[in-house]
Amino acid sequence: SLCNMVYSSDSTKTGVVTSPGYPNPYPPRTHCTYDFQGRGKERVQVIFQDLNLYHTSGGTNECEGVDSLVAYVHIDGKKEKIDAFCRDMTSRPIMSNGLRLSLEFNGLTSSRHSRGFKAVYSFTENFGITTGRQEAQYPCAFVYNSNETRNGTFASPNYPGLYPRDTECHYFFNGQPNERVHLHFHFFDIEGVLPCDPVSASDFVEFSNYMTRDRKYPRHCGQSKEFDIASDRKFFRVTFKSNDRYDGTGFNASYVFVDEEGNYTTKPPTSNASTLKGKTKLPLVSTLVPFHT
């Protein structure tokens, strides 16, 4: 069974894509390609709702020669594989590095238990970043103002999927004059080796009290356990940058604005209108232990 599908953002900005016959088993020797074409500043994001491919027990983690779904992007005119799913792997969101994304589904075998897959695709300009207010004059920038929200979360593009290649995103934190922002990174996996410079083709996250580079904070890359970062003043910038090689899961972090004494005022989750005042749980950290890569 052959099938070739093309999805254009000119037709629809979001929709559902499935394997042939879903939720019934796909026929043996199925080969399908799904091509997505965006426009302007759009990226393509695919989020799986169901992934159930035929597999036998055992085998390696490689998805060669087995029923699989493989994602490709286009870099410098060449097709590059960015992710692959097979067996009973857990699916994760996929995002393109530009306007195009391709999925190739190979259903070599079949069984009455193999439903195939169902996914939602969207042509998006927010890079899968769902918090903050997007700043239109940048390709990818999100603003967090303390007069709008006192605390919250922010994450790398397409988290918890692999972050897209060739992408730079800024996160700007703006406090009141007497405020600082404390960041806590719950998860950190950025492809690279210290000191995260271009020579090593490292992706990185950069921190700064300014719009320009800040020598106080080293660039961060590699894999790390939880850690904290604090600003010195009311403004703070976090910049994520990926190149056209290799991938990581990215980061997931929370932020809280605090006053100069380290106290923070925030609305409780209940309907009670009073404010809570207390010490932040995030310690002031100005230096970090070196990362293990």
State the Cα–Cα distance between residues 249 and 245, nearest whole angstrom: 14
Count of residues in the chain:
293
Query: Pick from 34, 93, 30: which is nearest to 67 by CA?
Result: 30
86 vs 69, 83, 203, CA distance in Å? 7, 10, 27
Q: What is the pTM of this model?
A: 0.84
- Residue 186 is given by DSSP the state E
State the Cα–Cα distance between residues 202 and 197, nearest whole angstrom: 6
Span 222-234, pLDDT tens digits? 999 999 999 999 9
What was the pLDDT predicted at 149?
93
CATH superfamily of 133-259: Spermadhesin, CUB domain (2.60.120.290)
Mean pLDDT, range 200-228, rounded to an integer:
95
C-alpha 235: how far from chain center: 24
Span 234-281, pLDDT tens digits? 999 999 999 988 889 999 999 999 987 777 754 433 333 333 333 434
Contact between 223 and 204 (Cβ < 8 Å): no
Average pLDDT of the chain? Answer: 87
Fold of 5-124: Jelly Rolls (2.60.120)
Span 21-46, pLDDT tens digits? 999 999 889 999 999 999 999 999 99
What was the pLDDT predicted at 58?
64
Contact between 147 and 262 (Cβ < 8 Å): no
Which segments of the chain belong to CATH 2.60.120.290? 5-124, 133-259
